[in-house]
Structure 1
Amino acid sequence: MPILFNEIDNTITLTTKNSSYQMKIDKYGYLLHTYYGAPIESDMSYLIRGFDRGFSGNPYVAGNDRTYSLDQLPLEYPVEGNGDFRLTALSVKEAGVSGLDLLYKTHRIEKGKYSLKGLPTVQDQETVTLSVVLEDKAKGVEVELKYSVIEDTDTITRAAIIKNVGEGEIILQNAASVSLDFLYGDFNLIHFQGRHAHEREKVVTPITYADFSIGSRRGTSSHQHNPFVIIADKETTEDTGSCIALMLLYSGSFAFRCAKDQYDQTRAVMGVLDERFDYSLLKGEEFVTPECAISFSLNGFSTLSHNSHKLVREHITHGPWALKRRPILINNWEATYFDFNKNKLIKIAKQAKELGVEMLVLDDGWFGNRWDDNRGLGDWFVNEEKLGGTLSSLVEEVNEMGLKFGLWIEPEMVNEDSLLYKEHPEFAFTLPGHKPIRSRNQLVLDFSQTKVVEYIFNMISKVIDSAHIEYIKMDMNRSLADVCSQDCSQGKVLYKYTLGVYDFLQRLLNRYPNLLIEGCSGGGGRFDAGMLYYTPQIWTSDNTDAIERTLIQYGTSFAYPISSMGSHVSAVPNHQTGRITPLNTRSVVAMAGSFGYELDLNKLSIEEKDEVKKQTDSFKELYEVIHNGLYYRLTDPTVNKEFVSYLNVTTDRKEALLSIVTLSTQGNPLNKYVRLKGLEENINYYNSFDKKVYKGSSLMHGGILLPYESGEYNA
């Protein structure tokens, strides 16, 4: 049984194959967090010792025991106002007074995985759910902590439901999904920062006595920080050491906070951002936090990533495309931008089909008065003048070639120069008495209002119904700034907006169950597990430069599987950096993702077209090892500036794909070596590059001597 309650010592222990998580109901009714790490079988509260410590107060229930203080105990769900002065998971105000004191009420263990209303969750009906109810009777607040165990990925999921069981109104000022306490240890925080076109660069920050926080205030998970972090022992490497991942299944504003306290204990808290969050609950109402999946590895970051990749592919992403091979696509955006017509699109499609591409995606500019990016957003009807006829006629012609057809949408946005805005200006966020804040000359629609979601969905579904659309790229090209809704209290808007986005996506999937949706937010501005529940792949970055992409995809790989990363071969000089890289290098990098092209293939030479055909054939042949295999990072491009290397290995470990991309070239170069991982030591492996056979043990312990080629950026 993965969840056990011990009636003798009042411990509840959750167990996966390689980890244990334990809490304890103590003698006063407080819920302590006693352990998370490698498997154990006993009450771990023996590690806790109280002292009479100055300025660390004692709850009234402890009587004269001055060694008992919530300011020094490891707590499962810490709250504000009960004598614990560290970071808190929950803050509640009632009648203008903040403070809470939660005590154990009851718990239950049930078969099946819990769900959360309106929110994406990990899926596994073979598991069990633990619900622990804490209460503050005087305040009229109950908190139901939810847990499930995903044994095959060494993952435990957590969420909280806060309920108003009193008579008056309460206001939530902070409501986190998870809190973790560590009695001792010296940790690094690995997090992933960036900006538009430079997302998810790995950063290592020591956890110290200062409160440290990352997150997003932008209404989305953002380009700047990702809702995935790792807490690791300082000596942890790719292959050794203890580390814990926290993956928040949420696509809105979020916060992660951590600090070491005065007694060298560490606390980490993660959940919805508490800024612009002031969530009122009347009698009988409840607030549901997003889910957080936590995973433990005793064998370094590689194992932790394998856990996360398997979790996303097999337990988060749902629908027919979760594990199914995605079509190789060509997107017209960098080939034409807004300057296209039917003849141009058909010409691109014909050439793509000849070279092994399987789907044409029509990007921005097909609808309304959308001749540039200053107008037309919100008018989701086909611009037949631009397409030279109906969308269905274009799609039929593309389908007759043997290609699938996909379409770009940006449902959350509106231009002021649009029919939608002229008819319904109240649909857009704007502060009362203020002119709106523009970004990319567009405003944000209030998706916290169900009527707005329904209105946009009905418009877009008419377009999808009109033609054989098999793929949607759903974009979102700005942050949320001047947020004000006509439909709910302002402290609820950002949370309800995110739920509105999920509602829109679920409506699409309910109506079109075989539809493949790719997420996008100016590239990787909403690359998170919440979106991956609905969209099996996400456009990794608007930066398509192959060399820059190695760094972006490296950071992304710590949390998210290769199959989730939209990655395309684009033209050179690259449109973002001006860099010129070989066509082979661009394909090697793009194959470490959901492969495709974003250029006009008609402009390539005969030799380049032959190379593209070989690339598409190769990707189809190697799909199993790339998308369904285990992924190993062999070098760290934030440290090794000469080359980046990564390895895909089939789950039976009989086949592997080694990728190497040169980042810099020197005269009179040194020999370069890389050790492979994940192979079977006693298997002979045939190297298709040098036509030789090597023992797995030789490749892993001795490594491989990399070939030398002159020139820049070879792969």
Structure 2
Amino acid sequence: MGSMVWKDDKFGDILLESREDGIKLRKLFGLKMEGDAELAGRVSGLYDIFTSLGSHVNHQQIEAAEWKENEFCAKVKLYEGKMRYVTTWNRVGSLGIVKRTDTLTNLSTEPVILYKAMMRFVFAYEEWEAYVQNTRWCYENVGAWNPVHFGGVALACEGGRTTQGAAPFLALRNRRFKGAAFHLIPNGNWKLSLKTVSLGCSQAGEYGYMLEAGQSDEHFAMTLLPGESFSFPEMLIQSLEDGKLSQTAANLQKYFLQTDKERFRIEHPVVYNPWFEHYALLDEKRLKEHVQAAKELGCEVFEVDAGWYGSKTGDWWSQSGDWSEKTDGAFYGNMNKFVEYVKSQGLGFGLWMEPERIGEGTPVYEEHPEYFGKGNGFYYPKLYVPEVYDYIYGQIAGLIEKYGLCWMKMDFNYELGEDESFTEFYRYYQAWYRLLNQLKKDYPNTFLEGCAAGGERNDLHTSMTYDGHFLSDNVNCFDMQFTYQQCCLRMPHYRMIKWLVVNPGAKISLYDSTTIEKTDTLITTQHPGAGWDEYERIDPEFACQLTMAGMVGLSGNFIDITKEQKEVFRKYVAFYKKYRNFYKEALLYLCDDPKNVGDKTGFYYLQYHKEETDEHLVFSYRFATACDRDVLYLKNLNENAVYQVQDGVTEKELCKLAGKDLMYRGMEVYYDSRNSGKIFKISRK
């Protein structure tokens, strides 16, 4: 038994104590945690486990606790040796990040039912603010700071979609702007619950806060067979440096660059998907016009979205799960001929499917209803059953091989409902991630895009498994940028796909026009836009500047825009191709806490920094403000070096400035109009 401390002058100390009655966390990044007083088991320790053998509280004994320079591991015997709990903490001291990994194993000869398995953090009393992200369709990642009141904070996902309802992310800070951020990496339905707890009898009526995090225990009754282990959702814990989310995000992005080796698996091609013009109405003649537009703009993949499949009469929604070609519409059973046309134009071919949503009238459901569980209006495959896993894998692999796909978009448009395995979809997601990893291994040249009615399953586990993830069905160019900023607080920036969606607008007379000739305009969907019922005008340059900071795809109508507008998009597609691999090697610095969808006020800028070469790309934006200038203060430059500042797209030199001036005096930027932007390339000379 003993204590372990990781001393850190920058981020604050972490102090763990191993005792006979359990493991205590005394300090977390300098924050006061569980104190010295003997507390009831309900508010003490690092975990809470409840099984058919009872609560762990009176049935635990430390077997071993090992401390290394950057690792702590403790093994705890539970229920007189019938189960073992192991917690491992790995520290990245330079970034103020700890990764926590917990497992529970059944060592007995009989099955044990697991009802609750939660990581626990007990905080001493402070007045806290909490930052959480509300996530729903077209309003993904809407974040805000709010005071933590006596009722606490309760976060959870809904229906098997891991970011429907809330994101698995919680940041806390006290009045001194010290705090921590918690990132849960889900395996199905999850829970983050911060509540006030009484700490026992005292004259002051003392209470504190307890955070519980892990697999949802709402309908959880998992049978652990002898020798079987349950893995808690992993957690990344961060120091909230000076209470600023923007700095915390930079450290998190650096962590991803150090640990995410899979990001180089496949280069992201520029994809063109015409879904946001006519949606599921597929007309081959019109699609061929889109292919020509994609080719002209410099795109590399042409993708066909929903509406191409279904052997029976019905729309795209009802026939999900029947992946045979539609014969009474779309390509009339001859899509391979269209695929050949796409490839003859020098483009790769991509396809949409939704393997997790099965309609009741589909042939496979009629033949094998036992393969599926009841979801919200549809059925989900019981992937933890080997023959069902093999069937779904075969359906996806069959499409990749039949059409020679270099891009596969896999959607997830509904709630899974109740989990028939009683594990809150733990077993389901273990199988799903295994399936995706097997696809990547078997088809190394196929880019796998994740989508979940936009971003309703955009968590760390999912985004790290797909090659890229659709951010939102809200494809308003402004909101796409704001959703991305918020997402970068908890996700790797280089795995998020922003969609540039436009349509030709009307010819209008602009207020400041100097001629009676009307101007051709371009429109994007109105906030929060997944459709064209309402729309707003946008400058083509600004549309590109908002969406091409990171992975991008094109959709809408690029056929009927003007020659001048096409030239703008062609220029920016070429710009993106030049820098697409740069993003995978670059840190991202947010200038401040991010904006939310709909907030088209003031200024904002993003700084991408490739440390190895000291190169920077800076995207700066002026929104609806009367002020025509802003000052950019860049981060992590060499104070004594001189930097060349260029236009990021044309590479025309604009000036040379010392690193200390760029950081401390700033770089003044002038904008020609509201809702306009600049891209700067900044290189060390």
Report the TM range for the smaller structure's normalisation. Answer: 0.7 to 0.9
Structure 1 letter corresponding to 2:640: N
1:440-469 alpha-carbon deviations (Å, 9 max, x no partner):
xx4433334333222121122122122321
Structure 1 Cα separation of the partners of residues 541 and 277 of structure 2: 19
Cα pair distance change 1:627/1:170, threshold 3 Å: closer
Cα offset, 1:540, TM superposition = 0.6
Structure 1 letter corresponding to 2:75: V
Residue range with higher mean Cα deviation, 102-111 or 651-660: 102-111
In the alignment, which of 414, 438, 459 is matched to residue 507 of structure 1? 438
* Match in the other structure for 1:695: 658
Structure 2 Cα separation of the partners of residues 493 and 76 of structure 1: 22
SS at match of 2:352: strand
SS at match of 1:691: strand
Q: Write the mapping of 1:281-296 to structure 2, written as runs, cut at 5 A.
A: 281-296=224-239
Structure 2 letter corresponding to 1:211: G
| Contact 1:217-1:275 within 8 A present in 2 as well | no
Q: Write the mapping of 1:367-386 to structure 2, written as runs, cut at 5 A.
A: 367-369=309-311, 372-383=315-326, 386=330
Cα pair distance change 1:234/1:558, threshold 3 Å: farther
SS at match of 1:538: strand
* Match in the other structure for 2:39: 69
Cα pair distance change 1:682/1:110, threshold 3 Å: closer
| Contact 1:473-1:519 within 8 A present in 2 as well | yes
Structure 2 Cα separation of the partners of residues 551 and 166 of structure 1: 51
| Contact 2:161-2:456 within 8 A present in 1 as well | yes
* Match in the other structure for 1:33: 25
Q: Which has the higher strand share?
A: 2
Structure 2 Cα separation of the partners of residues 243 and 345 of structure 1: 52
* Match in the other structure for 1:189: 130
Cα pair distance change 1:531/1:374, threshold 3 Å: closer
Match status 1:404 vs 2:354: no
Q: Write the mapping of 1:122-271 to structure 2, written as runs, cut at 5 A.
A: 131-138=73-80, 140-150=82-92, 153-166=95-108, 170-176=112-118, 178-183=119-124, 185-236=126-177, 242-250=178-186, 252-262=188-198, 263=206, 265-271=208-214
Structure 1 Cα separation of the partners of residues 590 and 476 of structure 2: 20
Give the TM-score taking structure 2 as reference length: 0.83
Q: Write the mapping of 1:178-577 to structure 2, written as runs, cut at 5 A.
A: 178-183=119-124, 185-236=126-177, 242-250=178-186, 252-262=188-198, 263=206, 265-296=208-239, 298=241, 300-316=244-260, 318=262, 320-321=264-265, 325-369=267-311, 372-383=315-326, 386-387=330-331, 390-430=334-374, 437-438=376-377, 442-481=378-417, 483=418, 485=420, 488=421, 491-492=422-423, 494-571=425-502, 572-574=523-525, 576=530, 577=534
1:396-418 alpha-carbon deviations (Å, 9 max, x no partner):
44334332222212100012332
SS at match of 1:477: coil
Cα pair distance change 1:76/1:374, threshold 3 Å: closer
| Contact 1:312-1:532 within 8 A present in 2 as well | no
Structure 2 Cα separation of the partners of residues 29 and 470 of structure 1: 56
SS at match of 1:414: coil
Give the TM-score taking structure 1 as reference length: 0.80
Cα offset, 1:600, TM superposition = 2.9
Cα pair distance change 1:484/1:685, threshold 3 Å: closer
SS at match of 1:402: coil
Cα pair distance change 1:634/1:99, threshold 3 Å: closer
| Contact 1:199-1:224 within 8 A present in 2 as well | no
Cα pair distance change 1:592/1:465, threshold 3 Å: same
Structure 1 letter corresponding to 2:279: Y
Cα offset, 1:110, TM superposition = 11
Task: Please list every run of 5 or more consecutive structure 1 residues that lacks an aligned counterpart in the other structure.
Answer: 1-8, 51-67, 80-89, 112-126, 237-241, 431-435
* Match in the other structure for 2:509: none
Instruction: Tell me the C-alpha RMSD between the 2 structures.
Output: 3.3
Structure 2 Cα separation of the partners of residues 293 and 310 of structure 1: 13
* Match in the other structure for 2:562: 605
Cα pair distance change 1:709/1:235, threshold 3 Å: farther
In the alignment, which of 607, 616, 620 is matched to residue 656 of structure 1? 616
SS at match of 2:458: coil
Structure 1 letter corresponding to 2:367: E
| Contact 2:359-2:379 within 8 A present in 1 as well | yes
Cα pair distance change 1:253/1:410, threshold 3 Å: same
* Match in the other structure for 1:87: none
* Match in the other structure for 2:577: 620
Structure 1 Cα separation of the partners of residues 104 and 52 of structure 2: 13
Percent of aligned pairs with the same amino acid: 20
Aligned length: 633
Task: Please list every run of 5 or more consecutive structure 2 residues that lacks an aligned counterpart in the other structure.
Answer: 199-205, 503-522, 648-652, 679-685
Cα pair distance change 1:15/1:393, threshold 3 Å: farther
Structure 2 letter corresponding to 1:309: Q
Structure 1 Cα separation of the partners of residues 161 and 362 of structure 2: 24
Structure 1 Cα separation of the partners of residues 429 and 42 of structure 2: 36
Residue range with higher mean Cα deviation, 494-503 or 652-661: 652-661
